[in-house]
């Protein structure tokens, strides 16, 4: 059982080392693609094991919980690992055409795989301090990727990204210290049992707020999101796609995990705050996007806005709302990464991401227009694409608890999302290019064209599949929400009869 859990972590690290050693030739990028394929297989094996056994846990190094480091996979962890592997595969294929040799020589593929390892580790760990370590693995790799190439805009964005993320890390670390001081354990399952018996529940709420701030920065919620739109439009397109898809979602995952498993004692207080946070995040994100005129900046603000929906699912804390949050997570990672990949192709064809300087893509590159249409309108929540079901579940969950206002906000934000997407559509695709250029896909050489468009098509297909056959995904999300609300299985898997 341990290997099933450890393999999705070992593979990207091994790939990273090999890809880094062989970075100066073409071998590095192929190792990265092969590693991502192997990672996807390992993730699917893990998923099958979870589907069979419910929750699986493994103790690393033979130290039993709560003393050793525990890896746990329940439904939520497993699906996040699979979706991470899918995104990683798509982006590593895209990188074949997107990343130039200079960036490869600087170690792009090595850093990329370390990032994937960090993300996967965060999803699988069952120990808070270990979560901190995975966050750091992820952070340091993302720092490297963000400023790789070293343009002025990247350094500028990098300063804001690095400083604010370091602050969040320190708040997280202090919270860990205080929580350990109160309970004497950092194993999440053990904590879930211990915190209920604490005398000073008020102090626990204080610590919970520290975790909320720390994970809130990572997840880019209001009012802690300013590092995201300042930096996500600066690095290479492969990098911003993988950031947009995965990094903030690690923060959301950490929030969901800790605020369902550990800090679920004072829901009236903490989840009420989360509800306000969700509302403001949705609104400020979408308004910020409306004011932007750059392809990637609009998309960056939309990440913030969409994070609000996921937090909404957590804040309502009903079974249906959590189903919505889990469904939203999966749908959003695929759609968002894809949109950034498309922005990359648009920039190649037209020469810029500034919407006022480009255009004409619909007439001369209709294939790209179709490929953009799918994730963009899925993001906005058009039926029958995946985003519609995600929003539908969340709005319905809000209505069920008489949250008229929040349901109204969620719907209005969806409407404004359409506004931003039509803005991109009108400027980049519909109107003629201001300089009279006719951007054609055939301008790219066949190899680059294939490597850039294949992952986009793959992810778009995935979006359509979720959209037309949402049933199995919803059922899956229902079980995972049930596991989140009733943590008995999780705790038993970790602390009960230990699996070797």
Partner 1 sequence: MEALIAVVAGCLVAGAVYLMMARNVLRFIFGLVLISNAANLIIFASGRMTAGAPPLVPKGADAPVGQVANALPQALVLTAIVIGFGLFAFALVLVFRAYTSLGTLDSGEMRVAEPRDDARK
Provide the mask over 475-494, with x wherever binding to partner 1 is found by CB under 8 A and - wherever it is not.
Answer: --------------------
Nearer to partner 1, 185 or 281 (CB): 185
Helix intervals (H) in 148-187? 152-183
H/E stretch holding 69 reads strand 69-73
Q: How far is the CB of 409 from partner 1 (least distance, A)?
A: 25
Contact (Cβ atoms closer than 8 angstroms) between residue 340 and residue 303? no
Q: How far is the CB of 10 from partner 1 (least distance, A)?
A: 20
Helices 386-400, 319-350: crossing angle, 10 deg rounding = 150
- 350, 325, 370: which is closest to 461 by C-alpha? 370
Judged by CB under 8 A, the residue of 7, 106, 173, 418 near partner 1 is 173
Provide the mask over 130-149, with x wherever binding to partner 1 is found by CB under 8 A and - wherever it is not.
Answer: --xx--x--xx--x---x--
Residues 82, 458: Cα–Cα separation, whole Å:
15
Nearer to partner 1, 110 or 470 (CB): 110
Secondary-structure breakdown of the chain: helix, strand, coil percentages, each rounded to the nearest 5: 80, 5, 20
Q: How far is the CB of 219 from partner 1 (least distance, A)?
A: 20
What is the CA 439 to chain-centroid distance, rounded?
31
H/E stretch holding 418 reads helix 404-424
Three-class DSSP labels, 213-257:
HHHHHHHCCCCCCCHHHHHCCCCCHHHHHHHHHHHHHHHHHHHHH
Provide the mask over 81-110, with x wherever binding to partner 1 is found by CB under 8 A and - wherever it is not.
Answer: ------------------------------
- How many chain residues touch partner 1 (CB under 8 A)? 44
Q: How far is the CB of 95 from partner 1 (least distance, A)?
A: 22
- 46, 73, 71, 47: which is closest to 61 by C-alpha? 71
Contact (Cβ atoms closer than 8 angstroms) between residue 55 and residue 74? yes
Judged by CB under 8 A, the residue of 21, 48, 51, 170 near partner 1 is 170
Characterize 368-394 residue by residue with b for buried, 16 or more Cβ atoms within 10 angstroms of its Cβ, and e for exposed. Answer: bbebbbbbbbbbbbbeebbbbbbbebb
Nearer to partner 1, 226 or 280 (CB): 226
Nearer to partner 1, 241 or 310 (CB): 241
Region from 108-116, 156-164, 277-285, 393-401 binding partner 1, contact rule CB under 8 A: 156-164
Judged by CB under 8 A, the residue of 180, 269, 430, 458 near partner 1 is 180
What is the DSSP-derived secondary structure letter of residue 64? P
Q: How far is the CB of 151 from partner 1 (least distance, A)?
A: 9
Provide the mask over 269-308, with x wherever binding to partner 1 is found by CB under 8 A and - wherever it is not.
Answer: ----------------------xxxx--x-----------
Judged by CB under 8 A, the residue of 20, 30, 129, 280 near partner 1 is 129
Burial class (CB in 10 A: 0-12, 13-18, 19+), 399: middle
Q: How far is the CB of 179 from partner 1 (least distance, A)?
A: 8
> CA distances (Å), 230 to each of 13, 135, 300, 358, in order?
29, 21, 9, 22
Q: What angle (nearest 5°) sits at the alpha carbon of residue 286, between those of residues 282 and 292?
A: 150
Provide the mask over 434-473, with x wherever binding to partner 1 is found by CB under 8 A and - wherever it is not.
Answer: ----------------------------------------
Nearer to partner 1, 178 or 464 (CB): 178
What is the DSSP-derived secondary structure letter of residue 55? S
Judged by CB under 8 A, the residue of 177, 265, 351, 457 near partner 1 is 177
Residues 316-375, interacting with partner 1 (CB under 8 A): 354, 356
Nearer to partner 1, 300 or 364 (CB): 300
Provide the 10 A C-beta neighbour count for residue 197: 7
Nearer to partner 1, 30 or 143 (CB): 143
| 430 is a site residue for partner 1 (CB under 8 A) | no
Residues 182-241, interacting with partner 1 (CB under 8 A): 182, 229-231, 233-234
User: Can you tell me which residue has the tokens 């790789």?
Assistant: 148
Contact (Cβ atoms closer than 8 angstroms) between residue 317 and residue 369? no
Judged by CB under 8 A, the residue of 27, 37, 106, 167 near partner 1 is 167
Nearer to partner 1, 35 or 175 (CB): 175
Nearer to partner 1, 69 or 368 (CB): 69
69-73 and 56-60 as β-strands: parallel, antiparallel, unpaired? antiparallel
- 392, 386, 293, 382: which is closest to 338 by C-alpha? 386
Judged by CB under 8 A, the residue of 138, 162, 282, 316 near partner 1 is 162
Residues that bind partner 1 (CB under 8 A): 129, 132-133, 136, 139-140, 143, 147, 150, 152-160, 162-163, 166-167, 169-170, 173-174, 176-178, 180-182, 229-231, 233-234, 291-294, 297, 354, 356
């Amino acid at each position: 059982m341990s290997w099933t859990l450890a393999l999705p972590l070992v593979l990207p690290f091994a790939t990273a080392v090999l890809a880094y050693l062989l970075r100066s030739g073409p071998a590095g990028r192929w190792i990265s693609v092969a590693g991502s394929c192997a990672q996807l297989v390992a993730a699917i094996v893990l998923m099958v094991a979870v589907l069979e056994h419910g929750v699986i846990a493994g103790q690393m190094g033979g130290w039993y919980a709560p003393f050793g480091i525990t890896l746990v996979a329940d439904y939520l962890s497993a699906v996040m690992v699979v979706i991470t592997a899918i995104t990683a595969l798509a982006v590593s294929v895209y990188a074949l055409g997107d990343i130039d040799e200079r960036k490869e020589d600087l170690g792009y593929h090595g850093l990329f795989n370390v990032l994937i390892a960090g993300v996967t580790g965060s999803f699988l760990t069952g120990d808070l301090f270990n979560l901190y370590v995975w966050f750091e693995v992820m952070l340091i790799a993302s720092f490297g990727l963000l400023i790789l190439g070293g343009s002025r805009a990247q350094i500028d964005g990098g300063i804001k990204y690095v400083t604010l993320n370091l602050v969040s890390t320190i708040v997280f670390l202090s919270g860990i210290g205080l929580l350990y001081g109160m309970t004497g354990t950092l194993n999440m399952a053990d904590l879930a049992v211990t915190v209920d018996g604490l005398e000073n529940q008020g102090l626990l709420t204080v610590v919970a707020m520290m975790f909320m701030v720390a994970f809130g920065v990572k997840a880019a919620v209001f009012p802690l999101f300013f590092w995201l739109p300042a930096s996500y439009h600066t690095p290479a397109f492969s990098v911003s796609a993988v950031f947009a898809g995965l990094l903030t979602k690690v923060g959301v995952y950490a929030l969901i995990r800790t605020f369902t498993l550990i800090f679920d004692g004072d829901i009236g207080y903490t989840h009420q705050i989360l509800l306000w946070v969700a509302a403001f995040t949705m609104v400020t994100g979408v308004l910020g996007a409306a004011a932007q005129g750059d392809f990637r900046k609009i998309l960056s603000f939309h990440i913030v806005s969409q994070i609000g929906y996921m937090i909404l699912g957590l804040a309502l804390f009903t079974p249906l709302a959590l189903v919505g949050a889990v469904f939203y997570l999966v749908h959003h990672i695929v759609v968002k990464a894809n949109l950034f990949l498309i922005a990359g192709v648009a920039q190649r064809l037209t020469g810029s991401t500034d919407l006022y300087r480009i255009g004409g893509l619909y007439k001369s590159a209709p294939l790209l227009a179709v490929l953009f249409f799918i994730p963009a309108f899925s993001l906005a929540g058009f039926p029958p694409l995946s985003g519609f079901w995600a929003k539908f579940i969340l709005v319905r969950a809000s209505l069920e608890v008489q949250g008229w206002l929040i349901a109204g906000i969620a719907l209005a934000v969806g409407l404004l999302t359409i506004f931003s997407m039509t803005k991109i559509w009108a400027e980049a695709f519909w109107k003629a290019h201001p300089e009279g250029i006719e951007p054609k896909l055939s301008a790219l050489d066949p190899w680059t064209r294939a490597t850039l468009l294949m992952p986009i098509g793959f992810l778009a297909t995935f979006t359509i599949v979720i959209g037309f056959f949402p049933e199995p995904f919803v059922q899956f999300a229902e079980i995972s929400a049930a596991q989140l609300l009733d943590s008995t299985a999780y705790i038993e898997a970790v602390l009960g009869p230990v699996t070797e």
